[in-house]
Chains A and B, each alone.
Chain A
Amino acid sequence: MRLLVVEDDLLIARSLDNALTPLGNIVEAFTHCAEAGAALHQGGFDLVLLDLGLPDGDGLTLLEAMRERGDTTPVLILTARDGVEDRVRGLDLGADDYLAKPFSIAELEARVRALLRRSQQRSDNQLRLGPLCFDLASGRVTLDETPLELPRRELLLLEGLLSQTGDIAPREMLESRLFGFGEVGSNALEVYVSRLRKRLQGSGLRIRTFRGLGYRLEEERA
């Protein structure tokens, strides 16, 4: 993956490089809006990590110009401004995620992974996580390249979980996906989750429950 880092603090730029290159990415770093703008014009980036306060302008202007051009490259904003208004403005302008400085490298890696996965899915029309692959066009699921036959509701559940790519899928979202808007018993969803859990056993994937919030399909950490 080719990543563009626009960051004027050299220490941060270097640690981003050090963190993301070992994950198999090519990182190109720029310190000024103008240079970054020129590089973006040439295209070919899979993700942009954008700082807002740059020496020659505001990163949000760069983002706005990108989106006006119709450039849909995912953008992760990194900034020390953590006011809610800044956050909302960035997301309104078409940023895909927002990380306030200071951040932990682990947090950054997780966000970058999720964004890359999401843009990957958009391009090849497949939802993937680890050994699991969900083909959106045919609705077929494969686990370790072997087809996995699933009943309709488990299929809907899996699609819902995968569509969040590593984020928590809110319970309300899954419920309306599986059962429509009708009244459902409180543990109806749990029944399907536990069935799906059994099928995924030993695959390196697990469904983690967040009490009262939802579920997350995640890779088990070694």
Chain B
Amino acid sequence: MIEVDGSLKRRLAIWLLVTVSGLGTLLMIEAYLGAQRAAQRAYDSQLEAAALTIAESVQWQEGEPVLEIPAAALQILATRHQERVFYAVLDADGRRISANLVLDIAEDDQRHVAREPFWRDVTWRGEDWRLYGREYDSAGWETQDPVQIWVGHTMAGRRALAGELFERAVTRFLAMVLLAGLLMLLAMRVALTPMRRLRQLLRRRDADDMGPLDARVPEELRELAETLDTLFSRQRDSRDALLRFTADASHQLKTPLAGLQSTSELALAQDDPETWRSALVDVNEGAARTSRLASQLLSLARLRHVGGDGDMARLDLAAMLREVTLEWAGRDAAREHDLGLAELPAAPVAILGASWALRELLGNLIDNALSYTPAGSEITLGIEIDTRVATLYIEDDGPGVPADLLERLHHPFERGGRQDTQGSGLGLAVVDSIAKRHGAAWQVSNREPRGLRVTLRLTLSSPEER
């Protein structure tokens, strides 16, 4: 049965989505951090520039630094985002020479700035500030004291810039994903074309076309195409075998039917009741033989052409043997024979087998024994148990089979040199097919001093098997 399990396209799309969203998250994080860094760098250099501008305008009057904050410096600090700016100029003792806000600079920071330029993020009056401090050696005429210049502003400008940069990165990414998705769809269509082509090819085939495929397929589909080819060739073989078998069977059926026809025709041309009688006897025997042949041909066909072992099950060989033998012993055909059962093992003999096939096999063996031995012969069936193997046997005290014919008995239409019975010569061919199906070895041997023994070795099934 064909069960549709999702679609290839959807599966590809899901994988793509998972990959893109995974990678996308990483990219977004990277873009965010990158935007932050870029904004920081841009505004930090502005702070540096502002500090430098202020430093350049420090004047010395009577040993004291005097400062007029240049407008340019404030312009540099103030961005278009209505930011609040801060500056402070401290002398060497940490006193404020000039400042626009009372934002205090920690003493630690002042000491730090003395060593190197210093960036500092602080929170003052509920707002985040970024400060830059730097010490300049301001060379006056008499003194040479350093001054510390601190500048700073609130963060709105930085945030806005970072946001803008990030937004642009996201837009670029989304556009790319969209484009990639469209291209992917297109690629899928193109990539699946060979499958569509193969499907069309298969659809166009005639129902009885078993020839090999004639298709151009990519590497990935080669296995599928080859499997299909093998399947076709198996079907072809099986159909050929079936045709051959049907032809054989029809030929085999024609022979006894021809006999029936000619016998009855000859008898009808005569007026002698005695001739009629003997012809009728022949016709009766011929009809029996023909019908047996037909049913054996049917079992053979079923065995050879109905494949699979779905009908295999655990069964009790002893119970089956008892049942089949009981049925045959009660038949009219067994009236003149002593058909019996040897003592069977007390415990069930569990094997894995197809019930109908094994019954057919037993039936054929018993039928053979009844047909090929004279009236009054003793026929015994039984089972011998080994550790792993159950040996089913049937033996009689009839005339046996010439040693040189033993090997050929399992060939269809081989009758062990006996033309005096109603046998079709198919019985042991049926047995052979069933034994093969069960992986069982079977053997025919002559008994001493007389008679025939057929054995079939079946593997015992252990309880853990089904």
Footprint of B on A, CB under 8 Å? 82-85, 100-102, 104, 106-107, 110, 167-168, 170, 210-214, 216
Q: Is the CB of A82 within 8 A of B340?
A: no
Q: Is the CB of A110 within 8 A of B326?
A: no
Partner of A170, one of B288, B326, B331: B326
Bound together, the chains give a CA A214 to CA B338 distance in angstroms of: 12
Supposing A107-B332, A110-B332 touch, asked if A213 and B288 sit within 8 A by C-beta, the answer is no
Q: Which B residues touch A214, using CB under 8 A?
A: 326
Q: Which A residues touch B339, using CB under 8 A?
A: 210-211
Bound together, the chains give a CA A6 to CA B188 distance in angstroms of: 66
Other than the known A104-B288, A168-B326, A168-B329, what 18 A-B pairs have Cβ atoms closer than 8 Å? A82-B295, A83-B356, A84-B356, A84-B359, A102-B291, A104-B332, A107-B333, A167-B330, A170-B322, A210-B326, A210-B339, A210-B341, A211-B342, A212-B325, A212-B340, A212-B341, A213-B326, A214-B326
A-B contact count (CB 8 A): 51
Shortest Cβ gap from B285 to chain A (Å): 11
Bound together, the chains give a CA A170 to CA B340 distance in angstroms of: 12
Shortest Cβ gap from A104 to chain B (Å): 6
Bound together, the chains give a CA A216 to CA B340 distance in angstroms of: 13
Bound together, the chains give a CA A102 to CA B355 distance in angstroms of: 22
Bound together, the chains give a CA A199 to CA B338 distance in angstroms of: 24
What are the interface flags for B341-354 relative to A under an 8 Å C-beta threshold, 1 for contact and 0 otherwise?
Answer: 11110000000000
Shortest Cβ gap from B274 to chain A (Å): 22
Q: Which B residues touch A85, using CB under 8 A?
A: 356
Q: Smallest CB-CB separation from B354: which chain A residue?
A: A84
Partner of B322, one of A100, A213, A216: A213
Provide 28 A-B residue pairs closer than 8 Å at the C-beta atoms, listed in order of the A residue.
Answer: A83-B356, A84-B355, A84-B356, A85-B356, A100-B295, A102-B287, A102-B288, A102-B291, A104-B288, A104-B332, A104-B333, A107-B332, A110-B332, A167-B330, A168-B326, A170-B322, A170-B326, A210-B326, A211-B338, A211-B341, A211-B342, A211-B380, A212-B325, A212-B344, A213-B325, A213-B329, A214-B326, A216-B330
Supposing A102-B287, A213-B325 touch, asked if A107 and B341 sit within 8 A by C-beta, the answer is no
Q: Is the CB of B332 within 8 A of A106?
A: yes
Q: Is the CB of A210 within 8 A of B329?
A: yes
Bound together, the chains give a CA A83 to CA B359 distance in angstroms of: 11
Main secondary structure of the interface of B (DSSP, over half): helix
Q: Which B residues touch A216, using CB under 8 A?
A: 330
Bound together, the chains give a CA A110 to CA B333 distance in angstroms of: 12
Shortest Cβ gap from B226 to chain A (Å): 37
Q: Is the CB of A212 within 8 A of B330?
A: no
Bound together, the chains give a CA A83 to CA B357 distance in angstroms of: 10
Shortest Cβ gap from A184 to chain B (Å): 13
Q: Is the CB of B355 within 8 A of A213?
A: no
Q: Smallest CB-CB separation from A83: which chain B residue?
A: B356
Q: Which B residues touch A211, using CB under 8 A?
A: 338-342, 380
Q: Which B residues touch A101, using CB under 8 A?
A: 291
Shortest Cβ gap from B304 to chain A (Å): 16
Footprint of A on B, CB under 8 Å? 287-288, 291, 295, 322, 325-326, 329-333, 338-344, 355-356, 359, 380
Bound together, the chains give a CA A107 to CA B355 distance in angstroms of: 25
Shortest Cβ gap from B437 to chain A (Å): 16
Q: Which A residues touch B326, using CB under 8 A?
A: 168, 170, 210, 213-214
Supposing A102-B287, A102-B288 touch, asked if A210 and B332 sit within 8 A by C-beta, the answer is no
Partner of B340, one of A84, A167, A210: A210
Q: Which A residues touch B344, using CB under 8 A?
A: 212
Bound together, the chains give a CA A167 to CA B343 distance in angstroms of: 21
Bound together, the chains give a CA A210 to CA B331 distance in angstroms of: 12
Q: Smallest CB-CB separation from A109: which chain B residue?
A: B332
Bound together, the chains give a CA A104 to CA B291 distance in angstroms of: 11
> 9 shortest A-B CB distances, which residue pairs?
A211-B340, A212-B341, A102-B291, A84-B356, A107-B332, A210-B329, A106-B332, A212-B340, A168-B330
Q: Which A residues touch B329, using CB under 8 A?
A: 168, 210, 213
Shortest Cβ gap from B188 to chain A (Å): 49
Q: Which A residues touch B330, using CB under 8 A?
A: 167-168, 216
Shortest Cβ gap from B227 to chain A (Å): 33
Q: Smallest CB-CB separation from A104: which chain B residue?
A: B332
Q: Which A residues touch B332, using CB under 8 A?
A: 104, 106-107, 110
Q: Which B residues touch A110, using CB under 8 A?
A: 332
Bound together, the chains give a CA A208 to CA B101 distance in angstroms of: 132
Bound together, the chains give a CA A160 to CA B38 distance in angstroms of: 108
Q: Which B residues touch A213, using CB under 8 A?
A: 322, 325-326, 329, 340-341
Q: Which A residues touch B341, using CB under 8 A?
A: 210-213
Bound together, the chains give a CA A85 to CA B339 distance in angstroms of: 27
Shortest Cβ gap from A60 to chain B (Å): 19
Q: Which B residues touch A102, using CB under 8 A?
A: 287-288, 291
Q: Smallest CB-CB separation from B295: which chain A residue?
A: A82
Bound together, the chains give a CA A82 to CA B341 distance in angstroms of: 25
Bound together, the chains give a CA A5 to CA B331 distance in angstroms of: 22
Shortest Cβ gap from A103 to chain B (Å): 9
Q: Which B residues touch A167, using CB under 8 A?
A: 330
